[in-house]
A and B are shown apart, each in its own frame.
Chain A
C-alpha cells in the first residue's frame, strides 16, 4: 500500500511500486484529467506537480512519491496562480483539440510559481518541453504572459 497526498487529500493505492503515477491517476483512481501522450516523458501531456515541482507522471514510479503531495489538473485552480492561468486560458481561447492543455497549464503554473514576472524568453524556455500538435503556441505564450500580468 502506497500513501501520498493527492490534491490535498490522503490517498492510498495498492499497486506495484513501479507503476507510473499516470497509470495510478487514470486507471486506479479514475482521474483522467492528466493525459497520456507519448509515454516517454517527451511531450509533457502528463505533467503533474510533486511537492510543487512539475514532473512527468508517465515515467514517475508511484513508490517515488510516497508521502509527497501530488497536484493534478483537477485541483490546479485551487490557488490564485492556477486560477489566473485558467482565466487567461479562457480569455485567449487557447485550446484547440485540448489534449495537451492539462500539461500546458501545469507547466505554466509551475513557471509562474517560480518566476512571477517571466520574460518572453523565460516563457518560451519554460514551455518548450510541452508539445502541442495543434500549434497553439502563440496563444499559450500570450495566456502565460497575461496571467503573469494579472497576478502582478
Chain B
C-alpha cells in the first residue's frame, strides 16, 4: 500500500485488511459507501487532535543540503530527548517530571496508550492543566480528557536513542506511527499533545527550543531531504498528508462500492 495508506497505527491495521479483502458478492454498494462515509466522518482520534485546516507540507528542496538537514535534526533531537517528550516515548510504563522518574501511580500503557482500566490516564489527567504545581497535566480532545502515550502496537520508544538511531526511528513510518514525512511534519506542527510540551503547566521545564524554532527546524530538516546520517540517500518525497490519505481511502472505498453494484448478488 505504501505511503498512500500510511496512517495512525491502530487504524491502519484494520483499514488495510479491509481494503485487502474486497467485498464478496453479497456485500452491497451500500455497505461500501457506508464504510467510506464512516471512515471520513469518524476519523481516528489522532486526526481530531491535529488541526487539518491550513497545513501545507514543506516540500523537499530541489537542491537539498544534507549538512543543513543534519544540523536541523541535531536541534530537533534536543527537544525529542527532553522529558516533556521522552517521558511517554518509553518501552513500557511512562515516566514523569523533569527528572524522568518512574510514574506514580504505577500505570500501564494499555492497548491504546490510554492506560489499563480502572487506572487510566484520564483518571488523573483531566481536560486541562491544573494551576497547582505537581498536579498531573491535562489536555482536551473533543471535549474529553485526551492524555495518552503511544499505543502498544507502536510504542515509538526513544529511550537510549541518539543521533542517527533516534532520527531513523522518528522518521520511518514503521516506527513513527505510520506517518509519512508530511504527516510527521503535521504531527509536530499541529498536534495539541505535542504543543502541550510548550504549555506544560507550572513547575515543568520547557523544551530547549521554543515552539516556533522547533517548527522551523522540522521544516528545515524535511526541506533538506530529512537526512539521518552522512551516507543514506536523501528523501525525495514527503508522501501524503493525512487529509490526502483520507481522501484516497474514501475514493478507494467508493470505487469498491461502485464495482460491487455490478457484481451478481449471492443467492439466498
Query: Which residues of A pack against B, CB within 8 Å?
Result: 18, 39-42, 53-56, 59-61, 64, 107, 110-111, 113-115, 125-126, 128-129
Contacts and interface: CB of A to CB of B under 8 A. Distances in A.
A56 B126 CA distance: 8
A18 B128 contact: yes
A104 to B, nearest CB: 13
B123 A55 contact: yes
B118 A107 contact: yes
Contacts of B36: none
B141 to A, nearest CB: 11
A39 B132 CA distance: 8
A129 B127 contact: no
Contacts, number: 72
Interface in B128-151: 128, 130, 132-136, 138, 140, 143-145
Given A54-B123, A64-B143, A40 B130 contact: yes
A41 B117 contact: no
Nearest to A112: B118
B65 interface: no
Task: Give the interface residue-count category, chain B.
Answer: 20 to 34
A126 B130 contact: no
A interface SS class: mixed
B160 interface: no
7 contacts: A39-B132, A41-B136, A42-B136, A53-B120, A56-B123, A61-B126, A128-B105
A24 B20 CA distance: 52
Interface of B: 104-108, 117-120, 122-124, 126-128, 130, 132-136, 138, 140, 143-145
B119 A40 contact: no
User: What are the 8 closest A-B residue pairs judged by CB atoms, nearest first?
Assistant: A40-B135, A129-B105, A110-B118, A114-B117, A64-B127, A41-B124, A128-B105, A60-B126
A1 B105 CA distance: 35
A39 B140 CA distance: 20
A64 B144 contact: yes
A39 B145 CA distance: 18
A61 B140 CA distance: 11
Contacts of A18: 128
A114 B115 CA distance: 13
